[in-house]
Amino acid sequence: MGAPGGRELRCQLPASTWAALDARIARTGERLEDAAAACIAEALDAKLHSIFQVSTSGALVKGVYGAATTIADVRRHGDIGLGTFVGLDGEGVMLDGQCWRAASNGRVMPVGDDVAAPFWVTARFNADRTQTLSTVSDWKHLCSQLDDMRPSGNLFAALRIRGVFDLVHARVACKARPGASLVEATSSQSEFRWTEVAGTLVGFWTPEWARTINVPGFHLHFLSDDRTRAGHVIDVRARGVAAELHAASDLHLVLPANEQFLRADLSGDPAAALAKAEGGTAKSRP
């Protein structure tokens, strides 16, 4: 097995181990070398700094909301993450290996492994950097402080921010009609404002060069500690929250094999549409 910056390992595997490795590859779609490296790292409790993603933000912009994976598959690759559900029906957030769905009526419900999703991003979270944010005055201020924690403008990052928030302004997408673009679908989103709420922000930072893959800049979802409030974060205010960052140089991207994705026109730059759909939030610096 070889990897950039790594060392090559050649060895004879027992038939039972090889069969188990084959079964994992068939289940997850990983490459042989990636599956073997992940299994060794898991057995040795070593830190893997990877992000696993199903579908792309460019596909979402064009209204590709059909089933592409299941929550069971997502959970095999990480313990935090975010995404949405078939038909853009609500916002998804994963924390500590458990997935939750925020509905447009404000309800938050646990999600079973058999539930399908068109888009998801996850990571097995291992913090590289931690910092207490003494004051967060708004979304732009949060992004600026998180930018200072990132080691590079060219790597991906996963984030977890925990504490009591003075304000969380969030939105939840309503179920889209077939063929609706992301901008059309989010034009009728539900919005919520919660004050003095304890919870966690979970999400990712994507480099500008990867804007056709995921939302460039920061993309965060919120889940309250009592699991009654959740959604896509538009704005936030807080004091004394704990921010953790997991930098990732390893991105695993799985593309849907459904007819909707295969026939979609994914040409063009989705950045403007994404910015509008994401709530017009301030863009973080690269």
Calpha distance 50→125 (Å, rounded): 9
d(CA 67, CA 59): 12
Q: CB-based burial of residue 134 (10 Å sphere; 0-12 exposed, 13-18 middle, 19+ buried)?
A: exposed
pTM for this prediction = 0.80
- Is 3 part of a structural domain of the chain? no
What pLDDT does 286 receive?
34
> Same structural domain for residues 103 and 239?
yes
Which regions in the chain score pLDDT beneath 50? 1-5, 45, 280-286
Structural domain containing residue 199: 49-286
Tokens of 193: 């404002």
Mark whether 114 and 39 lie in a shared domain.
no
- Mark whether 75 and 173 lie in a shared domain: yes
* Within-domain flag for 223: yes
Same domain for 18 and 108: no
Q: Residue 62 in contact with residue 180, Cβ under 8 Å? A: no
Q: Residue 283 has what pLDDT?
A: 35
54 and 165 belong to one structural domain = yes
pLDDT on residue 4: 40
Please give the structure tokens belonging to residue 89.
Answer: 């029906």
One domain, residues 26 and 79: no
How many domains is the chain built from? 2
pLDDT value for 62: 86
- Concatenate the DSSP letters of all residues of 170-209 into one string: EEEPPPPPTT--HHHHHTT-EEEEEEEEEEEEEEEEE-GG
Residue 131 lies in a domain: yes
The answer to whether residue 8 sits within a structural domain is no
Same domain, 264 and 284: yes
